[in-house]
Amino acid sequence: MPTAVSDHYLMNKRTYNQFCPLAYSLDVIGDRWTLLIIRELMFGPRRYTDLQQGLPGIGTNLLAKRLKDMEAADIISQQKLPPPAASHVYTLTERGKSLQPIIMQLAEWGKPYLAEGFQSDDYFSTVSCMSALRMMFTPEKATGISATVDISRGSEAFFVQVHRGVLAVQTGLAPLADASVRFDDLKTLLMLIGNPATRQQAQASGMMTLTGDETVFDSLLGAFNLPV
């Protein structure tokens, strides 16, 4: 009964009650966690538990509520996965995808605060890392580099490919990767981009595990630039 969802959305929701497009926007996406949920969906569909992983601290009841509200507002939709996986995923609708430029601008605006002083125990979401890699990619440094590397942490994985000056960052494992790296904290990857020479030290200290072609991984690091 879809009416129940709509009713829930229309009835028990706090609103600014202002005749103003900004206020209406905020009524829809201004609640705590909402924009971060959308960020988590920006690289493709995610399951409920994937979202929980990417958003530590959200609390399962709140995540469920947000997902319902967002579905009622038509910014995400729930989709069933084909038979093998007896599960379903959440996806951005067109309306949800249209928030991407806003999210990018907000991220750009927030960079100084992050740079000024982040807490060492800050969680680095997989999606946030993928997004960061896209931003740090430097085409001029990528000439001659051809590398496909799987990156994983815990049960999450994505891969990065640089080939002929083109970057691809995607969820999941690459069909044919040159190397695989595993981190406990993805911030280690940023550290390596800033200082590639510390790779062996990172391996020795157990901060990362690298299998496959090490030189390809090193060359991949060269295609990125840590923002000053």
Partner DNA sequence: CCGAATCCTTATTGATACTG
Partner DNA sequence: CAGTATCAATAAGGATTCGG
Residue 31 near residue 132 (C-beta atoms within 8 A): no
Tokens 């190397």 belong to which residue?
Answer: 179
In sequence order, the β-bridge partners of residue 38 are none
Answer yes or no whether residue 13 interacts with DNA by CB under 7 A: yes
Measured CA to CA, the distance from residue 205 to residue 226 in angstroms comes to 23
Binding mask 10-29 for a second copy (x = CB under 8 A): ------xxxxxxxxxxxxx-
Answer yes or no whether residue 5 interacts with a second copy by CB under 8 A: no
Residue 164 near residue 202 (C-beta atoms within 8 A): no
Answer yes or no whether residue 206 interacts with a second copy by CB under 8 A: no
From DNA, a second copy, none, interface partner of 25 (C-beta below 5 to 8 A by class): a second copy
Shortest Å distance, C-beta 55 to a second copy:
8
From a second copy, DNA, none, interface partner of 164 (C-beta below 5 to 8 A by class): none
Measured CA to CA, the distance from residue 220 to residue 160 in angstroms comes to 9
Please identify, using beta-carbon distances, which residue of 59 and 172 lies nearer to DNA.
59
Please identify, using beta-carbon distances, which residue of 12 and 119 lies nearer to DNA.
12
Burial of 52-67, coded b for 16+ CB within 10 Å and e otherwise, reads: bbbbeebeeeebeebb
Which positions lie near a second copy, rule CB under 8 A? 16-28, 30, 32, 35-36, 39, 56-57, 73, 98-99, 101-103, 105-111, 113-114, 118-119, 121-125, 128, 187
